Structure 1
Amino acid sequence: MDKCNAELVVKSNRDAMPKKNRHIDLSDQKLPGLLLRLAIPSVIGLSINASQQALNAIFVGSLGAQAIAAVSMTMPLIVLPAAVGEGIGVGTASFISRHLGAGNALEASRGASTALALAAPIGVIMTIALLVTLRSIFVALRASQTILPIALDYATILLLGSTLMLLNIVSGFIVRAEGNTRFSMWTMLSAFILNAVLDPIFIFLLSWGVRGAAIATLISQAAAMSLYIVYFTKWPGTVLVGISQVSLRVDRIRQLAFIGAPATMTSILSALGGMFLYGAAAPFGDEFIAAVGIAVRILTIGALPIIGFCIGSQAVLGFGWGARDFTRVLKVAKIMLSVTVALSLVYSAAVMVFVRPLVGLFSDNKGVTDIAVSTCIAFHLFFGLYGIQSFATTMLQSLGRARLSAVVSFARQGYLFIPSVLLLPFVLGFSGVLVSQAIAELGAGFIGLVVMFRQFAELRRRDRRRYTRSEKHL
């Protein structure tokens, strides 16, 4: 939209902030429609992300069990910089939505700009640290001599673009937090299409193998970041991003870090859990690593749309909390819970029914397929509870409840999963690997359920007190 159509919101002793009506009004009272307008582009965007990962795995899987095993062992390492990006993004999105709800667009802009300014050097430092220790990490994970060189090639190229990936993640959270989830969706879709076109060219036509898959991903990340740069510089919205808005005040950075820390730690634990998972499968052979990798990809395909719905709806929760409208927060929370639980239950049932053809998309090796089928069933046995855990984590992040958010989010890939996957394979063999994921999924779901009921009760108490005070003033 042209600048002449923008409204200026002027506050005393504050800069003028452009506000664009092409962004969704977070104060809209028609909640189901508002949530759908915000969440559907986010769901589509993260579903595209899952499809991109699946597409890479399908192309790489045609190169053999060793190739898909190598790529699978690499993914937890790539998750580490993404974890930092997600943590910064979650903290920033919560910061933005709460300040927009309170009517302070200037502070929201400062938080967004500061987050991006911090993300770039953090990404560079992490990239250097991972590249220096890369071989040692794969050796510690017990990568076989057939897998090691392939994994090193793939990981080295992908890590060179990890700073871009980190900045993409943070930029996506900023855009969605100000209500423009569609742009984020189109950016992800563009990156996916580019990746899908380049994969077969680089992998097969140019005979670059897994290196080609990594280069295709790297180019698509660069393209996505280019689109975000254009968005921030040419089409500034309610939240302005620029060097002039960067403010390295300690209290502001603390707010961003405090809310985002649980999300970062959750993703780091997920990366560590993935390393331990593949490390536990490694003694049983390359086929077992490949099978676990396929099961994890299929699990991710189901998880990302649920996360997408929560991310898309998070701005409405945070906006309502910032406005102290607890009735609105409760209504939004109930809608989110219903949708996330329905999605997780339907996906879990679908995987159980169609598990063999799903696995067959990734590998035509009978040994890998048979192992992957049983692994998928075990991994999705209690996936129906994932919707509860994901919703509870998002709600707590939106309300600024960092500690409780950590309790819920650390369970699934942290304090429930890691001890299990380290101990049970020694007792139960490969079945111990499968049982570990089932225990973590079940336990995390129940923890999320308990915390969720407590938060609902607290929101009702706050709403009653607010209503009582309003009556007294009449």
Structure 2
Amino acid sequence: MQKRNQHLDLLDPNLRSLLPRLAIPSVVGLSILALQQLLNAIFVGALGAQAIAAVSMTMPIVVLVAAAGEGIGIGAASLISRHLGAGNEFEAGRGASTALALAAPIGVIMTVGLLLGVRGTFIALGASPTILPIALNYATTLLLGSTLMLLNIVSGFIVRAEGNTRFSMWVMLGAFMLNTVLDPVLIFLLDLGVRGAALATLLSQIAAISLYIAYFSRRRGLVLIRMSQASLRVDRIRELAFIGAPATMTSVLSALAGMFLCGAAARFGDEFIAAVGIAVRILTIGALPITGFCIGSQAVLGFGWGARDFARVLKVTKFMLSITVALSIAYSTAVVVFVQPLVRLFSDNDKVIDIAVPTCIVFHLFFGLYGIQSVMTTVLQSLGRVRLSAVVSLARQGYLFIPAVLSLPVISGFSGVLVSQAIAELGAGMIALFVMFRQFAELRRGDRHIQPGSESAP
């Protein structure tokens, strides 16, 4: 009973109480991650425009590493929550064990591949001779923790799928506090520069995975993690990968989009790379709490779907939309109003500031639609609607953004870089709205026509 009391009742009918209790720890956790990125950028920014430009060029590679973890984690979370909803804890534990068994070797393979290709990647992105050595110092140290990053991401999804979002919050809070202490010590006191920032992140990853290992080994969760029950059968791996594939592709495209964005900005000089990097960081800071709210609510969606309670799924979705849309509109408005002081947190270079201010404004013009995109992606992933999930999730940084950022800067210079982001944000929001109304109609039909115990689904 003591173990299970750590987890919230996913059948609680009071959604106004249940969802915030589930989601707020995830929001806090990912907000802490955003704050960690902010502090890292501020510390690195004190080293000069070249340093922050170098770190900005590394971010797409980090996103690429996280893509694999998010795909495995989302696939595992969807399976876990739906199996728990159907009352099958054994299969939930098997799915979690399989996810962790896959994450470790994938992390090792990615680490080796990325370390071998990192120099060529930076050169292809247009890194100048002043930026290249700084970027290599940062990336080679940070990429050593790729496997730890994957395991941390997957472990967090497993714990949240059980309904224990508070534990993942405390893990991220502990990692953040450690990183905050280590950053100034390693960067300035020990004079390690950007390598010190990367080392601080690496050490915080080690601390986080240690906490997750203790959680699983002491059986604090609802699902039992045992490597002996991990199933590496092709059909099981395919099921897990199929659900997580859109999330992985979204993150991969996000990494590619970041690379193309840096490459487009690199044509105009180091200051433009730094300015775009600042704008992307501010955009990410706003996106992470919204994503956190959706991740925290995912367990209720999957649990309701597994229990064939379509009315509950619809009600949860509407509540999520009301919160995330309000947050995204409020954040974009605040950025536009306070853009000058926000940008000055990252750089005191006047040229960088002059470029970053309009860049931030344009990047946030249609950010109010991000709440709809995030909710619909989460809903479709939770229900196992892979194809529709891909249509929504791949739009913003994939099939809308990449063609635009590759073509428009050639036609209209740096203005084309800015317009590319605005077009992608607006188009992705419209697509998410269309899918949302379609999904609402299907859930209503399912609630009317599907009887309890039926194997069919809308």
TM-score > 0.5, shorter chain as reference: yes
* Residue of structure 1 in register with 2:144 after alignment: 160
Equivalent residue in structure 2 for 1:286, among 234, 257, 270: 270
**1:258-269 equivalence runs, <5 A:** 258-269=242-253
Please report the TM-score for the alignment, with normalisation by the length of structure 2: 0.98
2:79 pairs with 1:95 = yes
Q: Runs of 5+ in structure 1 lacking a partner?
A: 7-18
Q: Deviations over 1:109-161 (max 9, x none)?
A: 00000000000000100110111111111110010000000000100000000
CA drift of 1:467 comes to 6.6
Aligned residue in 1 for 2:120:
136
Letter in 2 for 1:351: V
CA distance, structure 1, for counterparts of residue 60 and residue 6 of structure 2: 38
Report which stretch shifted further, 110-119 or 461-470: 461-470
- Is structure 2 residue 33 aligned with structure 1 residue 49? yes
Cα separation, partners in 2 of 1:183 and 1:469, compared to 1, 3 Å: closer
Alignment of 1:141-220 (within 5 A): 141-220=125-204
Tell me, in whole angstroms, the C-alpha distance in 1 between the residues paired with 2:118 and 2:309.
Answer: 49
CA distance in 2, matches of 1:285, 1:318: 47
Q: Output aligned runs, 1:55-454, within 5 Å.
A: 55-454=39-438
CA distance 1:74–1:463, shift in 2 (3 Å): same
Deviation (angstroms), 1:236 = 2.8
The residue identity in structure 1 corresponding to 2:362 is A
Q: CA deviation at 1:234?
A: 1.5
Counterpart of 1:15 in structure 2 is none
Superposed CA offset, 1:148-205 (max 9, x none): 0000010000000011001100000000000000000000000000000000000010
Give SS of 1:24's match: coil
Amino acid at match of 1:375: T
Q: Percent identity?
A: 78
Distance 1:468 1:304, change over 3 A: closer
Alpha-carbon separation, structure 1, partners of 2:450 and 2:110:
46
- For 1:254 and 1:342, the matched residues in 2 are separated by 37
Q: Which amino acid aligns with 1:454?
A: R
Q: CA deviation at 1:33?
A: 0.7
Structure 2 gap segments, 5+ residues each: none
Aligned mates of 1:146, 1:200 — CA distance in 2: 23
Contact 2:82 2:306 in 1 (8 A): yes
Cα deviation code 1:81-116 (max 9, x no counterpart) = 100000000100000000000000100000000000
**Paired residues, what number?**
454
Moved more, 233-242 or 412-421: 233-242
Distance in 2 (CA, whole Å) between partners of 1:338 and 1:186 is 27
Give the Cα separation in 1 of the matches to 2:104 and 2:388. Answer: 29
Which residue of the partner structure matches residue 20 of structure 1? 4
* Contact 2:65/2:150, CA 8 A, preserved across alignment: yes
Partners of 2:341 and 2:89 lie apart in 1 by 50
The TM-score with structure 1 as length reference comes to: 0.94
CA distance in 1, matches of 2:268, 2:219: 53
* Alpha-carbon separation, structure 2, partners of 1:108 and 1:282: 47
- The separation in 2 between residues aligned to 1:456 and 1:271, in whole angstroms, is 31
Query: Which amino acid in structure 2 is aligned with residue 412 of structure 1?
Result: R
Please give the per-residue CA displacement for 1:180-235, whole angstroms capped at 9, x wherever unaligned.
00000000000000000000000010111000000000000110000000010114
Q: CA deviation at 1:469?
A: 11
Q: Which residue of 2 aligns with 1:13?
A: none
SS at match of 1:161: helix
Aligned CA-pair RMSD = 1.2
Contact 2:308 2:452 (8 Å CA) reproduced: no
Q: Secondary structure at the match of 2:242?
A: helix
Deviation, 1:466, is 3.3
Shift of the 59–454 alpha-carbon distance from structure 1 to 2, 3 Å rule, reads: same
What is the letter of the counterpart of residue 193 of structure 1?
M
Q: 4+ runs of 1 displaced by more than 4 Å?
A: 467-470
